[in-house]
Structure 1
Amino acid sequence: MAILEACVTNLGKYNEGVLAYERVTFPTDAETVQAALKKIGVDGIRYEEIFIADYDGSMPQLYEHLGEYESIDELNHLACVLSELDEDELAKFEAVMDSGEYTGSTKDLINLAQNLDSYNFYPDIHSEEDLGRMYIQELEAVQVPEHLIDYIDYEAYGRDVRINESGHFAPGGYVVGDNSFTEHYHGIEDIPDEQRVFSMPKLPIREQMAAYQEMAGRAAPPAERPAPRVDREDR
C-alpha cells in the first residue's frame, strides 16, 4: 500500500450536490494529476477549486494531521520525502508524530521528515522501567556496583529520565529529541520543479470555447419579460 492516497474532489460540483472525485496516489506526476482533474470536471474555467474528501495509505497517523484544503504540490513533496526513508526512519517518523511535535501543518510534517537525525528512537522501550534499565545497564548513565544492581528502582529512574529529557512513549517505542531541529522547508517555493505537479488540464480549443460559452450562459441575466398590458379607460 502507498504511504499516501488522497481523494481529490471537485468543490464546485460538491456545492451543487454532485460528488465528483478521483483517488490520487502520491508521489505522483503532473500528467496523472491533470487526468484526475479532468475526470472530475475541474477545467480551470467552469470549475477551479478542489478539496480532499478523504485520505488513505499505509501510515494512518500521517493523514490524521492533513486537512481538506492541502496543496497538491505540498502533498506530493511530503510523499517524495517520505518515500526516501527506510523502514527504521519511517518508524521514527511515526513515533515523533505520536508525540505531537511538528504535526500542525504539511509544512511541519515535511520539516519533521527532514529532521529525523534530531531524534533518538528506541523501538524496544515501552515503559519507564524499560527506559531505566536501558540507561543504567546498556548506556551506563549511572555507575552501579554489581552487587547492588538488583536493588535499583528502574521505574523511578526511568520516570526521572523521561521527565528531564521530555521523552515520549509512542506505540512503536521511546523517542526523544536533541534540540537540533532545523527548518529546511519554508514553503512551496522550496519544492523542486519536478515535484510540482498541480496545474489545470490543458483543454483542446473546442472544449475551451464550449466551457466559456457555458460560463457566459450561466452569467447572463434572465431575459426580461414584456410588461403586462394595462388597458386604460378613455377619459
Structure 2
Amino acid sequence: MITLKLAREGNYETVTLRLPTTPGEVGEVFATLDAATRYAGEVQITGVDSGVPSLAKHLKGADLTDPDAFDKLNRLSEKIDGMDERQRNIFSGALDAESVSSLDDALRISDSLEAYTFVPNVRSDEELGRYVAVAGQIHGDRRFPEEAWPYLDFTKIGVEYYAGHGGAYTPSGYVMRREAVQEQTQGTKSVFELYLLHGQIRYRLDLPAEEARLEAAKRSLGIEDFAQAAIYRTRCGMDPLASLLPMDCVSVEDANELARTIREMPDGDLLKYLAVLSVEQPADFPGALRLALELDDYERITEGAYEYGQSVLQRFGADEELISVIDGYMDFEQFGEDSMKEDGIRQTEFGLVRRLSSPFDGQTPVQQMF
C-alpha cells in the first residue's frame, strides 16, 4: 500500500490519500483541499509512505493533472504490494540508478526488476570494495588473494567497481543493472576508459563502443545526452599513445571516434600517428582527433638519406632508368639530407615524418641520424 500526502501548490494544508483508491475518493480529497486552502494551485504530492525508501523523492514531482495519474499510482501500489522485501530493495535502488521523470518511468522499472542485481549490506565504496575482494569471481572480476587483503585499498576498489558498473547504494545494499556488468566484461581491450558521473551514479565506459552500448550507458546514467554527465577520469589503454594524447576538452563522442579510428589503423599508420602527435603536440583532445582524421596529410619516412634523395628525384619526374644513369655522378645522400631539410622532415622516436601540405615550423636537424 502507498499512502500519499497531498497539498495545493504554495500551501501547507495536507490531506492523506491511501492507494489503491477510487475516483470518488480522489474527488473527496480534492474537495477537502479546496475547502481548506481556497487556492486553485495544482495538487502536488508532498509525502509518500510505501516501504520503498527512494520512492518518495521520485513521486513528488509526478504530474497529477494527467487524467490517468491515479490509475498509474494504483497500479504502482498494487505492484509494490506484490513485492517481497528483496524486490522492494531492488526497486528502491533501481529508481535511483535510472532516470525517473514520470509515473511511466517508475512503472517501467517496477516491471523489470529481473534486470537488476542486488548485493545486500553493501552501502558504501569501502563495503563494495571488501565484497569484491572477498567474494572472488563475481561478474568476471578476479579474486584477490587473502594474503593481500591487509594491504588493499578497499575504497578505491569499490570506486573502480562502481564506476565500471553503475548502479546505486541503498540503505539495504547495492543495486546495479545486469547489462552494465555484461557490457563491460565483453569485447577486446579498450583504447579509452571514460569514467562518467551523473548525480550519484558513476559509470565506466570502454571505447570504442557501438551505438547500442552507448545507449545502454545513457540509460544507466539516467541521461539523454552525454553532455549531461561529467567525465571525472580518463585512461588510455595504449602505450605510448597515453603519454602523447592531451585529455583536455575530451567528450564521449570525440573519444569514441578517435578510438574507432585508432582501432582501424594499420600498424604503419599508427606509428605515423604517434610521430605526428610528438611533433604537432596538439593542445587538446579535439586537436588530436583532427590530426588522426587528417593523417593522409603526413608521410612517415622509413628510408635513409640516400634513398630519400632518389625518391625526391622520382617526385620531380625522374624514372628508374634516369636515376640509374646518373648513379655514380650524383651524391644522392647529400641531396637527400638537403631535401629533408627543405621538406621540413622531423625526427621522432617513431621515425621520420613530414607534413605534405606545408613543412613543419622550427625544424629539428635530421642529419644527426646519418
| TM-score when normalising by structure 1 | 0.56
Q: Which amino acid aligns with 2:87?
A: E
Q: Which amino acid aligns with 2:57?
A: E
Q: What's the counterpart of residue 73 of structure 1? A: 71
Distance 2:15 2:143 in 1: 60
Matched, 1:133 2:127: no
Q: What's the counterpart of residue 173 of structure 1? A: 173
Q: What's the counterpart of residue 203 of structure 2? A: none
| 1:57 alignment partner, SS class | strand
Distance 1:159 1:148 in 2: 18
Gaps of 5+ in 1: 42-48, 182-235
Kindly indicate whether the alpha-carbon contact (under 8 Å) linking 2:93 and 2:170 is maintained by their aligned counterparts in 1: yes
| 2:118 alignment partner, SS class | strand
Q: What's the counterpart of residue 206 of structure 1? A: none
Higher-helix-fraction structure = 2
| 1:65 alignment partner, SS class | helix
Matched, 1:119 2:116: yes
| 2:49 alignment partner, SS class | coil
| 1:143 alignment partner, SS class | coil
- Could you say which structure has the larger radius of gyration? 2
Distance 2:78 2:18 in 1: 11
Deviation string 1:174-199 (CA, Å, 9 cap, x unpaired) is: 22112389xxxxxxxxxxxxxxxxxx
Report 1:1-235 matches (<5 A). 2-7=1-6, 23-33=16-26, 36=29, 51-59=42-50, 61-66=54-59, 67=61, 69-70=63-64, 71-99=69-97, 101-140=98-137, 141-179=141-179
Displaced runs of 4 or more, over 4 A: 19-22, 34-41
**Structure 1 residues 69 and 131 mapped into 2: Cα distance closer, same or farther (>3 Å)?**
closer
Deviation at 1:53, TM superposition (A): 3.4
Distance 1:77 1:63 in 2: 16
Q: What's the counterpart of residue 309 of structure 2? A: none
Q: Which amino acid aligns with 1:115?
A: S
Kindly indicate whether the alpha-carbon contact (under 8 Å) linking 1:120 and 1:176 is maintained by their aligned counterparts in 2: yes
| Aligned CA-pair RMSD | 3.6
Q: What is the aligned residue count?
A: 167
Distance 1:175 1:68 in 2: 24
Deviation at 1:26, TM superposition (A): 0.7
Gaps of 5+ in 2: 35-39, 181-215, 217-370
Distance 1:138 1:121 in 2: 14
Distance 1:33 1:153 in 2: 54
Kindly indicate whether the alpha-carbon contact (under 8 Å) linking 1:75 and 1:106 is maintained by their aligned counterparts in 2: yes
| TM-score when normalising by structure 2 | 0.38
Kindly indicate whether the alpha-carbon contact (under 8 Å) linking 1:102 and 1:112 is maintained by their aligned counterparts in 2: no
Distance 2:41 2:151 in 1: 62
Q: Which amino acid aligns with 1:29?
A: T
Report % sequence identity: 24
